[in-house]
C-alpha cells in the first residue's frame, strides 16, 4: 500500500473527502489499482454512479477482488440482475463471502431457492452473519431448529435483523418470554421493528397506553406499520386521532390503513370517500376491503355490484362475506345458495353464519342487513 493511499485513508476518516479523492487519484495514476476501487466507493457515496462504475471497472480489469463485488452491487441496484449475477459469481468463486451472500439473495428473489441455499451456506461457513440470517429465513419453515441456531449465530455478530427474526420465530413457537426479551433488547438498541412488536404485545394484553408509547417510539424511528397500529389503538381508546394516523400511514405507503380509514369514514357517513378508499385498498391487495365495499354498496342499493364483491370476498376466505352473501341470497329467493354459504361461514368460524343457518333450517330466517 502506497503512502498516498495511507494518507488518503487518514484524511478521509477525518472527513476531508476532496483531499482523500485527490490522493486516491494520485495512487491510481501511479498504478495502484486498489485506489480505483476506493475512488469508486467514494463516487457511489456521493451519488455519482457513472463515475463509480468507471472506477470499479478499471479496478476489476486490474484484478482487484472487492471491486468486482462493488460493481455487482452497483449494476444490480441499477436494474441489471443478469450482469450482477455474473459478477457476484466471479467474486464468490474468488472467495468473497459478501458476494456469496448477495448471490444467494439474488437467486432467492428469483425463486432459485436450492441454489440460494448453497450460496448462503458457503458464506455462513465463512462467518458471514448476513448469510446466516438469510439462510435461517430461507429454511425456517422446514427446519426451525436449524434456523434458530443460525439466527443465534448471526446475533453473536450483533445482527439486529437476526435478533428480530429469532424473536418472531420464538413467538410463533409460543416461547413468548424470551421473544419479548429479545424485542426489548432490540428496542433498547433503537430498532423500530422491535418497538412496533412491543406495541403489538401490549395491545394484545389490553394495555393500550403502553402500546401507544411503543408505537410513538417506532413511528419516530420511521416504522410505517406503527402508524397503522397506533391508529387501531387510538380507535379502541375512542380517540379521534386515529383518522390522522391512518392518513399519515397511507401517505407513507401502508396499504392496510386504506381500509382502516375507510371504515372510520364509512361509520361517520362519509360514504363517497370511504368507497374510494375501499377500492384503493382492494387494488393494493387488502382483501378485507372486499366485504366492506360490498356492505357499503348493498346499503346504497347497488345490489349487483355488491354481490360481485361479496363473491370475491368469499373466494378470498372472508367468513363475514359468506354470512352476508348468504343473507343476500336468501333475500333474493335462493335458500339453497344461502345454506351453502352459511355452512361455509360456520366452518370458517363466523358465529352469525351459525345462527342464520339454524334459523334457515328451522324456517325462522328473516333477511336483515349485513352484520
Q: Would residue 187 count as lying in a domain?
A: no
Averaged pLDDT, 76-90? 96
Domain-located, residue 204: no
Its domain, for residue 40, covers 1-94
pLDDT (tens digit per residue) in 288-316 = 999 999 999 999 999 999 999 999 999 99
Q: What's the distance, Cα to Cα, between the start and end of the chain in Å?
A: 75
| Whole-number pLDDT of residue 368 | 60
pLDDT recorded at residue 367 = 66
Q: Which three cell numbers stand for residue 291?
A: 366485504
Q: 74 and 1, same structural domain? A: yes
Q: Who's near 218: CB < 8 A, 6+ residues apart? A: 192, 193, 195, 196, 199, 225, 226
Is pLDDT of 148 > 70?
Answer: yes
Q: Which of 141, 160, 182 corresponds to the end of one domain?
A: 182
Q: How many residues does the chain have?
A: 371
pLDDT band at 239 (very low <50, low <70, confident <90, very high): low
Q: Are residues 6 and 85 in the same domain?
A: yes
Q: What is the pTM of this model?
A: 0.76
Average pLDDT of the chain, as a whole number: 94
Q: Tell me whether residue 222 is in a domain.
A: no
263 within a domain of the structure (yes/no): no
- Which residue in the block uniquely carries the three cell numbers 372472508? 318
- 4: pLDDT strictly greater than 80: no
**Rounded mean pLDDT of 156-181?**
96
User: Which pLDDT belongs to residue 235?
Assistant: 82
Residues 74 and 10 in one domain: yes
Look at residue 229 and tell me whether its pLDDT is greater than 60: yes
Do residues 38 and 112 share a domain?
no
Query: Over the stretch 303-356, which tens digit does the pLDDT of each residue have?
Result: 999 999 999 999 999 999 999 999 999 999 999 999 999 999 999 999 999 999
| CB proximity list for 92: less than 8 A, separation 6 or greater | 99, 100, 103, 119, 122
pLDDT at position 129 over 90: yes
Final residue in a domain of this structure, among 94, 119, 151: 94
Kindly tell me the burial class for residue 283, based on how many C-beta atoms sit within 10 Å of its own C-beta (0-12, 13-18, 19 or more).
exposed
Is residue 229, in this structure, part of any structural domain at all? no
| C-alpha to C-alpha distances, 188 to 148, 170, 191, 223, nearest whole angstrom | 22, 19, 7, 15
**369 has pLDDT over 60:** no
Give the DSSP H or E segment for 150: helix 144-155
Closest CA to 246 of 224, 268, 275: 224
- In degrees and rounded to multiples of 5, residue 166 shows phi and psi of -65, -45
Assess whether 123 and 166 both reside in one domain.
yes
User: Do 1 and 89 share a structural domain?
Assistant: yes
Same domain for 170 and 130? yes
> Do residue 49 and residue 112 come from a single domain?
no
pLDDT > 90 in the chain, percent: 87
- Residue 174 maps to which CATH number? 1.25.40.10
- Is residue 220 a part of any domain in this protein? no
Q: 71 and 131, same structural domain?
A: no
What is the count of structural domains for the chain?
3
Q: Is the pLDDT of residue 232 over 70?
A: yes
Looking at 65, 94, 123, which one is the last position of a domain? 94
For residue 80, being part of any structural domain is answered with yes
Q: Is 18 part of a structural domain of the chain? A: yes
Residues 89 and 112 occupy one common structural domain:
no
Mark whether 147 and 58 lie in a shared domain. Answer: no
What pLDDT is stored for residue 371 in this prediction? 58
Residue scoring higher pLDDT (240 or 13): 13
Percent share of the chain, pLDDT over 70: 97
Same domain? 22 vs 66:
yes
Amino acid at each position: 500500500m502506497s503512502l498516498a493511499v495511507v494518507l488518503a485513508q487518514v484524511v478521509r476518516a477525518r472527513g476531508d473527502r476532496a483531499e482523500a479523492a485527490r490522493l486516491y487519484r494520485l495512487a491510481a495514476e501511479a498504478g495502484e489499482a486498489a485506489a480505483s476501487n476506493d475512488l469508486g466507493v467514494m463516487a457511489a457515496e456521493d451519488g455519482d454512479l457513472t463515475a463509480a462504475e468507471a472506477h470499479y471497472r478499471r479496478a476489476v480489469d486490474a484484478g482487484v477482488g472487492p471491486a468486482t463485488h462493488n460493481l455487482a452491487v452497483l449494476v444490480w441496484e441499477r436494474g441489471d440482475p443478469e450482469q450482477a449475477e455474473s459478477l457476484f459469481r466471479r467474486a464468490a468463486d474468488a472467495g468473497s463471502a459478501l458476494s456469496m451472500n448477495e448471490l444467494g439473495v439474488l437467486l432467492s428473489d428469483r425463486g432459485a431457492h436450492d441454489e440460494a441455499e448453497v450460496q448462503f451456506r458457503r458464506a455462513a461457513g465463512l462467518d458471514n452473519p448476513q448469510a446466516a440470517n438469510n439462510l435461517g429465513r430461507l429454511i425456517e419453515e422446514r427446519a426451525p431448529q436449524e434456523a434458530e441456531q443460525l439466527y443465534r449465530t448471526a446475533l453473536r455478530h450483533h445482527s439486529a435483523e437476526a435478533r428480530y427474526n429469532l424473536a418472531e420465530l420464538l413467538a410463533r413457537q409460543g416461547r413468548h418470554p424470551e421473544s419479548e426479551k429479545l424485542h426489548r433488547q432490540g428496542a433498547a438498541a433503537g430498532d423500530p421493528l422491535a418497538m412496533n412488536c412491543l406495541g403489538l404485545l401490549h395491545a394484545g394484553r389490553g394495555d393500550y397506553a403502553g402500546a401507544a408509547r411503543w408505537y410513538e417510539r417506532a413511528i419516530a424511528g420511521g416504522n410505517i406499520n406503527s402508524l397503522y397500529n397506533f391508529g387501531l389503538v387510538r380507535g379502541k381508546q375512542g380517540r379521534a386521532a386515529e383518522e390522522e394516523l391512518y392518513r399519515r400511514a397511507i401517505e407513507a405507503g401502508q396499504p392496510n390503513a386504506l381500509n382502516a380509514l375507510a371504515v372510520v369514514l364509512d361509520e361517520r357517513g362519509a360514504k363517497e370517500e370511504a368507497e374510494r378508499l375501499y377500492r384503493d385498498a382492494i387494488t393494493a391487495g387488502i382483501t378485507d376491503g372486499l366485504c366492506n365495499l360490498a356492505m357499503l354498496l348493498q346499503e346504497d342499493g347497488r345490489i349487483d355490484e355488491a354481490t360481485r364483491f361479496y363473491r370475491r370476498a368469499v373466494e378470498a376466505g372472508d367468513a363475514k362475506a359468506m354470512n352476508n352473501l348468504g343473507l343476500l341470497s336468501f333475500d333474493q329467493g335462493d335458500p339453497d345458495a344461502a345454506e351453502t354459504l352459511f355452512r361455509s361461514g360456520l366452518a370458517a368460524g363466523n358465529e352469525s353464519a351459525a345462527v342464520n343457518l339454524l334459523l334457515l333450517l328451522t324456517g325462522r330466517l328473516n333477511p336483515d342487513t349485513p352484520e
